[in-house]
Amino acid sequence: MSTITYREALREAIREALIADERVFVMGEDVGHYGGSYAVTLGLLEEFGPERIRDTPLSESGFVGAGIGAALGGMRPIVEVMTVNFSLLALDQIMNNAASLLYMSGGQFNVPLVIRMATGAGRQVAAQHSHSLEGWYAHIPGLRVLAPATLDDARAMLAPALDDPDPVLIFEHAMLYGTEGELTDDAHTRDITSAAIRRRGEDVTIVAYGGTLRVALGAAEVLAREGVDAEVVDLRSLRPLDTSTILTAVSRTHRAVVVDEGWRSGSLSAEVASRITEGVFYDLDAPVARVCGAEVPMPYAKHLEDAAMPQVADVVAAVHALGA
C-alpha cells in the first residue's frame, strides 16, 4: 500500500464527497486558489471549479452563517475555519443558530452542516492560533463533535458526518497534518459514535483524543519497558462521549489518566474524570488523574510551548503517581 499523509486522507474524503453528492461544496478562507491553510483542499478548485470550492472573505461569522443558510436550503456545505481560535468569531452562529434551530423550530429545521477546523499547539504560532477549545464546543447540545486522530478516521469520518442531519464539528490537530502512514482496508467506513481501543492493557487506562493520542501511545510504550501495561482509549467522538467504552476499560484496569491539551479548569478531561468517578467509583484503586495544558495563553517560544503542552514524561509520571 502507498503511504499517505493525514492531510491527503482528509482531501480524499472531501473529493469523494464532492463526487458522490452534487449538494456538497467547500467554503472557507483560502480553500480555493491557495489550497487551504494546511493544504487539505489543494487541487480541488482546479478539479471542481469555483462554484463548489468557494473562497470566502475573512469573516468567520459571515461565511459560517452562509453555510448554515445553505444547509437549511438543502445543500451539504463543508465549512473550513482556519483555526479553532478564529471560530470564536462565529460562536454566535454555531451555538445560537446551527446548534439551536432544530429545537427552536419544534423539529422543523435540521442544519446538515459540517465545520472543519484546525486545533492544538506545537507549531510556534502563539496564542492567536494554538489553543484546544474543542471542549467548549463539546459542552453545547445540538452539536456532534469529532476529533479524528488517525489516518483511517481522517479518511472515513467525513462521509457519516455529511449524512448526519444536524451540525457536526470536526477538529483536526494541526500537528497531525503531515503525519504519514497507510490506510487499512476499512478506512472508507467509520463509526462516529464510539471510542476506540488503540492499545490493550491491564494496569491503567489512558484516555486521550486528537493530538494527545500520540502522547498517550508514547507514554504506553515507555511504561511497557518499565513493566506497566497501559490501555489507551481514543475518544474520537467528544460529543456524544462513548461513556460505556471508557467505563468498561477503567473497570478492568482500576486506574485512569485522562490526557487533554486543553486547559484543566472546566475541561473535557474534567467531564471524562467525572463520568469515571460516577460510573465505576468502586472499581478504582486510585483517584482519576488528569494531564492537561498549562493554564496560560499559549507561548510562542518553543521551550515554553513544549512546557505548556502534555508530554510523554508527564503522562508516565501521572501513571506512576497512581501506584501503577
Half-sphere exposure of 10 (CA within 13 A, CB side): 30
CB 51 within 8 A of CB 29: no
Domain count, the chain: 2
Q: Is residue 191 part of a domain?
A: no
Model pLDDT, residue 185 = 72
Q: What is the mean pLDDT of residues 224-238?
A: 98
**131, 156, 181 - which closes a domain:** 181
Cell of 40: 487539505
Per-residue pLDDT of 152-193, as tens digits, reads 999 999 999 999 999 999 999 999 999 999 998 776 667 899
Per-residue pLDDT of 63-110, as tens digits, reads 999 999 999 999 999 999 999 999 999 999 999 999 999 999 999 999
Model pLDDT, residue 36 = 95
Active site residue 60: yes
Active site residue 172: no
Per-residue pLDDT of 1-30, as tens digits, reads 579 999 999 999 999 999 999 999 999 999
Q: In terms of C-beta distances under 8 Å and separation of at least 24 residues, what long-range contacts does 306-313 make, across chains too?
A: 308/121, 309/121, 309/122, 309/261, 310/212, 310/215, 310/259, 310/260, 310/261, 311/215, 312/215, 312/218, 312/219, 312/222
173 and 304 in a single domain? The answer is no
Q: Which of 12, 29, 80, 129 is catalytic?
A: 129
Q: Which of 12, 29, 60, 172 is catalytic?
A: 60
Q: Is residue 187 part of a domain?
A: no
- Can you tell me the distance from the alpha carbon of 10 to that of 16, in angstroms, rounded to the nearest whole number? 10
Question: CA–CA distance from 114 to each of 9, 25, 159 (Å)?
Answer: 17, 10, 10
DSSP state of 80: E
Question: CA–CA distance from 7 to each of 28, 69, 76 (Å)?
Answer: 16, 28, 21
Is residue 231 within a helix (H) or strand (E), and if so which, with residue range?
strand 230-234
**181, 206, 239 - which closes a domain:** 181
CA-based nearest residue to 85, from 127, 137, 23: 127
Alpha helices in 83-202 (DSSP H): 84-87, 91, 101-104, 134-137, 151-156, 158-163
Domain harbouring 54, CATH code: 3.40.50.970
Model pLDDT, residue 1 = 58
Neighbours of 58 (CB within 10 A): 11
CB 146 within 8 A of CB 234: no
Model pLDDT, residue 299 = 95
Q: Is residue 306 part of a domain?
A: yes
174 and 43 in a single domain? The answer is yes
Model pLDDT, residue 296 = 96
Q: What is the mean pLDDT of residues 43-53?
A: 97
Domain harbouring 264, CATH code: 3.40.50.920
* DSSP string covering 238-284: EES--HHHHHHHHHHHS-EEEEEEEESTT-HHHHHHHHHHHHHGGG-
CB 135 within 8 A of CB 262: yes
Task: Specify whether the backbone of 118 is left (phi greater than 0), alpha (psi in -120 to 50) or beta.
Answer: beta
Measured in whole angstroms, the distance separating CA 277 from the mean position of its chain's CA atoms is 24
- Can you tell me the distance from the alpha carbon of 21 to that of 52, in angstroms, rounded to the nearest whole number? 11
Q: Is residue 250 part of a domain?
A: yes
pTM comes to 0.96
235 and 151 in a single domain? The answer is no
CA-based nearest residue to 110, from 177, 167, 64, 195: 167
CB 310 within 8 A of CB 318: no
Residue 121 has pLDDT above 80, yes or no: yes
Model pLDDT, residue 187 = 63
Domain of residue 79: give its range.
4-181
Per-residue pLDDT of 266-323, as tens digits, reads 999 999 999 999 999 999 999 999 999 999 999 999 999 999 999 999 999 999 999 9
**125, 152, 181 - which closes a domain:** 181
Model pLDDT, residue 229 = 98
Residue 324 has pLDDT above 90, yes or no: no
